């Protein structure tokens, strides 16, 4: 019988393991702000098993990001701070396009804040590194299940893709749904190259 996963304990150990040798490259080489590192990152050793990872003292050193349950609203309409960790996502900054989760529950990083977004277009990032560089604005799809990702994107008022190719990827994914599709815009940095 498999042992239950204690995400809170794993997250606590990962945040306690962050050292200056992790901070310097995350800030200088990868462009992640110190505040984002302190709020959203941990480090651990892990190995990949299929689409998930498992902690492994002999595994590769990876960055961990906690995904929280959507917080309930307070009586005055503000969100309460998220508290329960529902999953952990891991990746190596040198390979930002390869990530996996601990439990396979999270569809997108930042999805816990979707209810807090205004009616403005929401940035959608290709990978966890880009999401972290943005200061965790918007969402970053991380589920291997296209339907789960589509469900997250359909809850957005509009989408801002990183560039035209990314916009086409999102459009293809969204076109598989018969319901209302959110508009897709390009990030300003992508528009600078379009003339």
For 35-75, write each residue's pLDDT tens digit: 999 888 999 999 999 889 999 999 999 999 999 887 655 56
Task: Give how far Cα 108 sits from Cα of 148, 182, 185, Å.
Answer: 9, 17, 19
- Provide φ and ψ at 133, rounded to 5°: -60, -30
Rounded Cα distance, 73 and 70, in Å: 9
Q: Is 36 in a helix, a strand, or coil?
A: helix
pTM of the shown model: 0.83
pLDDT value at position 70?
Answer: 72
Query: Across residues 79-106, what is the average pLDDT?
Result: 86
- CA-to-CA distance for 160 and 163, rounded, in angstroms? 9
d(CA 124, CA 166): 9
pLDDT confidence of residue 112: 84
> In 3-state terms, what secondary structure has residue 79?
strand
| pLDDT tens-place string over residues 113-138 | 887 667 889 999 999 999 999 999 99
Asked if 103 and 5 count as a contact pair (C-beta separation under 8 A), the reply is yes
**pLDDT for position 185:** 80
Tell me how far apart the alpha carbons of residues 146 and 85 are, in angstroms, rounded to a whole number.
22
pLDDT surpassing 60 at residue 166: yes
């Amino acid at each position: 019988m498999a042992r239950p996963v204690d995400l809170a304990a794993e997250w606590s150990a990962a945040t306690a393991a962050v050292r200056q040798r992790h901070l310097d490259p995350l800030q200088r080489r990868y462009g992640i702000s110190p505040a984002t590192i302190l709020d959203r990152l941990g480090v651990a050793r892990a190995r990949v098993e299929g689409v998930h990872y498992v902690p492994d003292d002999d595994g590769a050193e990876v960055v961990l990001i906690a995904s929280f349950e959507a917080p309930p609203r307070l009586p005055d309409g503000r969100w309460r701070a998220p508290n329960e960790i529902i999953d952990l996502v891991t990746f190596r900054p040198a390979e930002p396009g390869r990530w996996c989760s601990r439990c396979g529950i999270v569809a997108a990083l930042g999805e816990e804040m979707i209810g807090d977004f205004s009616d403005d277009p929401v940035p959608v990032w290709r990978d966890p590194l880009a999401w972290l560089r943005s200061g965790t604005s918007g969402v970053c799809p991380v589920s291997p299940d296209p339907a789960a990702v589509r469900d997250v994107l359909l809850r957005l008022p509009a989408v801002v893709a990183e560039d035209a190719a990314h916009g086409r990827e999102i459009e293809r994914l969204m076109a598989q749904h018969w319901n209302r599709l959110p508009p897709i815009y390009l990030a300003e940095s992508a528009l600078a190259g379009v003339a």
